[in-house]
Amino acid sequence: RRSSDLIIFVDIMIDDINVNRICNIVRENSELQGTRMIAITSALTEGEGHALMQQGFDNYLCKPFDVAQMVECVEDALAIIH
**pLDDT tens profile 16-57:** 778 888 888 998 998 888 899 999 988 888 788 888 888 889
The one-character DSSP state at 80 is H
Residue 47's pLDDT is what? Answer: 85
Q: What local confidence, expressed as pLDDT, does residue 70 receive?
A: 94
- Band (65; pLDDT cuts 50, 70, 90): very high
**Which pLDDT value is given to residue 1?**
45
61-81 mean pLDDT: 88
The span from the CA of 41 to the CA of 65, in Å, is: 10
- Asked if pLDDT for residue 80 goes beyond 70, the answer is no
Pairing mode of beta strands 59-62, 7-11? unpaired
| 57 class by beta-carbon count within 10 Å (0-12 exposed, 13-18 middle, 19+ buried) | buried
